[in-house]
Chains A and B, each alone.
Chain A
Amino acid sequence: DTEVTQTPKHLVMGMTNKKSLKCEQHMGHRAMYWYKQKAKKPPELMFVYSYEKLSINESVPSRFSPECPNSSLLNLHLHALQPEDSALYLCASGQGYEQYFGPGTRLTVT
């Protein structure tokens, strides 16, 4: 089973809202990732957690706040986003040389 689940599938939020994206995997992978993908562009790495500790933050604005409550779960807390933050947000988990992606959350900021 190589399934990574993400909720919600779609999210519309105003610039003053606070919302969270959730990601779950049960493959025992020790690395978990958040990526942002704009239309017709490749995914861009945002954060990497390794063994539940933040190991990479690609200079992401503080309005995005990641959290890894345990080895199976990864959250992305959103606050005071801008319309240009509208994108597909992808979660992935990995072990060794492989990554497995979830279906993504389509976020629209109004």
Chain B
Amino acid sequence: TQLLEQSPQFLSIQEGENLTVYCNSSSVFSSLQWYRQEPGEGPVLLVTVVTGGEVKKLKRLTFQFGDARKDSSLHITAAQPGDTGLYLCAGDSGTYKYIFGTGTRLKVLA
């Protein structure tokens, strides 16, 4: 069974701080997505990484896919209260089957 473990599970930080969220697995994925979800809403796709070692930036968010395509990280620079939410990674094992990570709840205090 493929598992995606995220760490930390919870994170509460002050506005302006930096943070990194990790997504780890023992399995290789064809691609990995990062989502942010607000309470009672569907996840919103932030980025997809496909190539081992790939780095993508989305404003203050930096995403990296591990060289072996088993892990990924999300780094937020100068966090803002609007970044608050549940961050989910999801790995694609091929043939449309996505496995979601355990989730990281981020709260950014003003």
Bound Cα distance A41, B101 (Å):
9
What residues of B have a CB within 8 angstroms of the CB of A100 in the complex? 45
What residues of A have a CB within 8 angstroms of the CB of B101 in the complex? 42
Bound Cα distance A102, B44 (Å):
9
Within 8 A of A (CB), among B68-94: 88, 90, 92
Q: Chain B contact residues (Cβ within 8 angstroms of A): what range?
A: 20 to 34
Chain B: CB-nearest residue to A98: B48
Bound Cα distance A31, B94 (Å):
13
Q: Are A106 and B40 in contact (CB under 8 A)?
A: yes
Q: Are A43 and B100 in contact (CB under 8 A)?
A: yes
Q: Are A97 and B33 in contact (CB under 8 A)?
A: yes
Bound Cα distance A2, B48 (Å):
15
24 chain-A/chain-B pairs, Cβ below 8 angstroms? A4-B42, A31-B96, A42-B88, A42-B101, A42-B102, A43-B43, A43-B88, A45-B99, A48-B97, A56-B95, A90-B42, A92-B42, A94-B96, A97-B30, A97-B92, A99-B33, A99-B45, A99-B90, A100-B45, A101-B35, A101-B44, A103-B41, A103-B42, A104-B41
A55 close to B (CB within 8 Å) = yes
A88 close to B (CB within 8 Å) = yes
